[in-house]
Amino acid sequence: MSKVIEFINLTPDWIDYYLKWFNDEKVRRFLWPSTPRQRDKIKHWLTKVAFSPKYRYFGIKVDGYPVGHTGMTINFRRLEAKIGVVIGEPSYWGQGIATLCAAHLIKEGKKLRLRTLKARVVKENKPSLRTLLKNNFEIYYQRNCYYYLRFFIDK
Ligand SMILES: CC(C)(COP(=O)(O)OP(=O)(O)OC[C@H]1O[C@@H](n2cnc3c(N)ncnc32)[C@H](O)[C@@H]1OP(=O)(O)O)[C@@H](O)C(=O)NCCC(=O)NCCS
């Protein structure tokens, strides 16, 4: 049976989900080490990404249940954004959700009239790399344990 996947505007009331996701070592493995763990720090981060125009973040619901987020940090001067995705519930991995997230962010980037989307991926994070390559991102640089990818948005 097909699942209903929704991207909704992120609000700080998802804090308890984030507390679980950001403290799951399996989920954190390839995230920035600075990803917050404590409730007050997560709350601060969520408030920032929910209300500042520099960020465009979406909560992901599958059949009404919160499973993660996707979003971007925008540099309006350069018309580019750095994107990210976290499926915080590992039982939902491998179902094509992050692949849809990348496609959703490309659409959103178009709406915002951005030129380029960029991502940084730990080389070992094969699923993440795959979702981006499937959405026609290209690797333009690599350094240490990271691939740097970009996607040019056509007008
Ligand atoms: C990485 C992550 C976002 C992937 O999300 P997902 O919804 O499971 O990804 P999808 O199901 O859309 O696609 C995964 C793809 O990787 C492939 N894949 C999975 N494991 C793989 C492996 N070890 N080697 C190569 N490909 C692999 C899958 O087969 C699938 O490709 P396919 O559709 O062509 O078969 C998710 O695991 C996650 O949130 N992890 C924790 C946080 C994180 O690492 N975020 C990314 C930071 S850059």
Classify residue 68: in a domain, yes or no: yes
Whether residue 100 lies inside any domain: the answer is yes
Domain annotation covers residue 153: no
CATH of the domain at 50: 3.40.630.30
pLDDT in tens, 122-136: 999 999 999 999 999
Ligand 1 center to 125 CA (angstroms): 8
In a domain, 83, yes or no: yes
CA distance 89 to 66: 9
CA of 99 from ligand 1 middle (Å) equals 8
**Residue 68 alpha carbon, nearest atom of ligand 1:** 39
Q: Is 114 in the pocket of ligand 1 (CB under 6 A)?
A: no
Does ligand 1 have an atom closer than 6 angstroms to the CB of 93? yes
Residue 150 resides in a domain: no
Report the C-alpha dihedral over residues 129, 134, 136, 142, rounded to 10 degrees: 20
- Mean pLDDT score of the chain, rounded to an integer? 97
Indicate whether 67 belongs to any domain: yes
pLDDT > 80? residue 54? yes
CB of 90 sitting under 6 A from ligand 1 = no
Query: What average pLDDT does this structure show over 87-115?
Result: 98
Q: pLDDT grade, residue 154 (50/70/90)?
A: confident
In a domain, 152, yes or no: no
Average pLDDT over every residue of 108-132: 98
Tell which atom from ligand 1 comes closest to the C-alpha of 94: 11
- Is the predicted pLDDT of residue 8 greater than 90, yes or no? yes
Q: Which domain holds residue 32?
A: 5-110
pLDDT at 125: 98
- Residue 2, pLDDT > 90, answer no
Asked whether 15 and 48 are in contact (CB, 8 A), the reply is no
Quick check: 155 pLDDT over 80?
Answer: no
Total structural domains in the chain? Answer: 1
Instruction: Write out the DSSP string of 47-112.
Output: HHHHH-TTEEEEEEEETTEEEEEEEEEEETTTTEEEEEEEE--GGGTTSSHHHHHHHHHHHHHHHT
Q: Is the C-beta atom of 30 inside 6 A of ligand 1?
A: yes
Q: Mean pLDDT, to the nearest integer, of 38-46?
A: 97
Is residue 1's pLDDT more than 80?
A: no
Whether residue 148 lies inside any domain: the answer is no
